[in-house]
Amino acid sequence: MNATSAAVDFSPTLRLLALAAALALLPLAWWWWRHRAAGALARRAALTVLTLFLTFDLVVFGAFTRLTDSGLGCPDWPGCYGEASPIAASVQIAGAEAQQPTGPVTERKAWIEMVHRYLAGAVGALILVLATLSVRARRELPFSLGWPLATVAWVIVQGLFGKYTVTLKLYPAIVTLHLFGGLVLLALLAVQAQRYHGRALALAAATRALLAAALLLLAVQVLLGAWVSTNYAVLACRGFPQCNGQWWPAPMDAQQGFTVLRHLGRAGEGGFLPAEALVAIHWAHRVFALVLVSALLALALALWRQAGGAARRAALALLALTALQVATGAANVVLHWPLAAALLHTGGAAALSGLLVSLQVRAVATSSSHVAVSRPSHRPASQ
């Protein structure tokens, strides 16, 4: 009985949850003070936007954690060597760093990894607060209660992805889903934020079809990009626009490259993953980028042709983000994967996702009502 009790120690988890709640109190206090005179609806809308912004920051910081090889900075989960902070685990971290000075565990990497977990916990706490407020005001919500509840459920899924990213030692399929899941969380919050504002955008049927197609293509490209990053295939192709001096690189091993159930650096049938597989992974992402960019340019042109300044502003934002993605994607190859370009590439993908999801929400609202709305349909003063 004593051995069993000693084996299950929840104290690090409880301390981490307490720390996450304390961190969440900072933006909550700012939000309450800033919007204390506003109506209940306006306060919930502001908190949704604030949580959306912090989730975007979390996605970028998650990329920073990945790009600095800090994903195993603390080799257990949720704590660090069973402690709630690297300070308490300093002896174990120092010992691991002494054995491998450039290995996965160093003091710097441990702090980066734990800060990422702290931020994730704080965002999760904010999402739980949002869901609680939504349940209390479910009759006045401008969207289904299923959206905030689904967001809470997805936070739990993301937490599990984060756990298995560590415990399975950067298993590529899990890491890819974890990276993609951050953008899914962003999209769920973007839907709610847009619904609070209630501004519909009148779009032609062809433009709405282009928008839906672009959103689907972006999801595929994000998965391909996450697979490139997860497998460290960014530099498998040297040069741009050619790959290793060829317009169509050969040889490539797509079968090995896209074997999903395998460990990092390992082939599906055993042994190490060949370089030809990494080339195939990189090249698939680059070729599909041409498809996505074509769709985004077509969508931007269709939006520009729509009547009204809102559609044209959306077209300009879409063009700017597309240009950013092309420039940072090329810079990652030409400049040998600099941290700044890689972070901008991730941030651009997150911003593109938020923009397309917001446009989709606005377009769906218009397609059912056929009325362009410029102001929220629910007034804060009435709450």
pLDDT in tens for each of the 383 residues of the chain? 444 444 556 777 888 889 999 999 999 999 999 999 999 999 999 999 999 999 999 999 999 999 999 999 999 999 999 999 999 999 999 999 999 999 999 999 999 999 999 999 999 999 999 999 999 999 999 999 999 999 999 999 999 999 999 999 999 999 999 999 999 999 999 999 999 988 889 899 999 999 999 999 999 999 999 999 999 999 999 999 999 999 999 999 999 999 999 999 999 888 999 999 999 999 999 999 999 999 999 999 999 998 779 999 999 999 999 999 999 999 999 999 999 999 999 999 999 999 999 999 999 644 444 433 444 444 443 33
**Residue 2 belongs to some domain of the structure:** no
- Contacts of residue 215, defined as CB under 8 A and 6 or more positions apart, other chains included, come to 356, 357, 360
Distances (CA, A) of 233 to 174, 254, 279, 282: 17, 13, 7, 6
Residue 68 lies in a domain: yes
Residue at 33 is within a domain: yes
Q: CA–CA separation, 39 vs 53, rounded Å?
A: 21
Last residue of a domain, one of 197, 215, 239: 197
Q: Which of 177, 197, 217 is the last residue of a domain?
A: 197
Residue 316 lies in a domain: yes
Cα angle 141, 143, 144 (rounded to 5 degrees) comes to: 100
In a domain, 5, yes or no: no
Q: Are residues 155 and 25 both part of a single domain?
A: yes
The predicted pLDDT at position 270 comes to 82
Regarding whether 378 and 297 lie in a shared domain, the answer is yes
pLDDT at 3: 45
The pLDDT, as a whole number, for residue 8 is 56
Shared-domain flag, residues 23 and 86: yes
Q: Give the active site residue among 83, 113, 269, 276.
A: 113
Query: How far does the chain reach from its first CA to its final CA, in angstroms?
Result: 55
* Last-in-domain residue among 197, 219, 236: 197
Q: Based on the domain organization, do 248 and 376 belong to the same domain? A: yes
83 carries an active-site annotation: no
Please name which of 176, 192, 182, 186 lies closest in space to residue 233, comparing C-alpha atoms. 176
Q: Are 165 and 174 in contact (CB under 8 A)?
A: yes
Closest by CA to 134, choosing from 154, 155, 148, 151, is: 148
Q: Give the chain's radius of gyration (CA, Å).
A: 23
Which single residue is written with the structure tokens 């809102």? 310
pLDDT of residue 12: 76
- 84 in a structural domain: yes
Q: CA 275, 280, 284 angle in degrees (round to 5)?
A: 150
Answer yes or no: do 173 and 319 share one domain: no
pLDDT at position 287: 97
Distance CA 217, CA 224 (A): 11
Same domain, 245 and 345: yes
User: What value, to the nearest 5°, has the Cα angle with vertex 289 and ends 284 and 295?
Assistant: 135
Eight-state DSSP code of residue 82: T
Amino acid letter, 214: A
SS (H, E, C) 186-206: HHHHHHHHHHHHCCCCCCCHH
Say if residue 158 is in the same domain as residue 245: no
Based on the fold, state whether residues 220 and 123 are members of the same structural domain. no
pLDDT at residue 4, rounded to an integer: 44
> What pLDDT score does 47 carry?
98
CA distance linking residue 382 with residue 36, whole number of Å: 15
Cα angle 181-182-183, degrees, rounded to a multiple of 5? 90
**23 and 98 part of one domain:** yes
* Number of domains the chain contains: 2
Domain that holds residue 274: 200-383
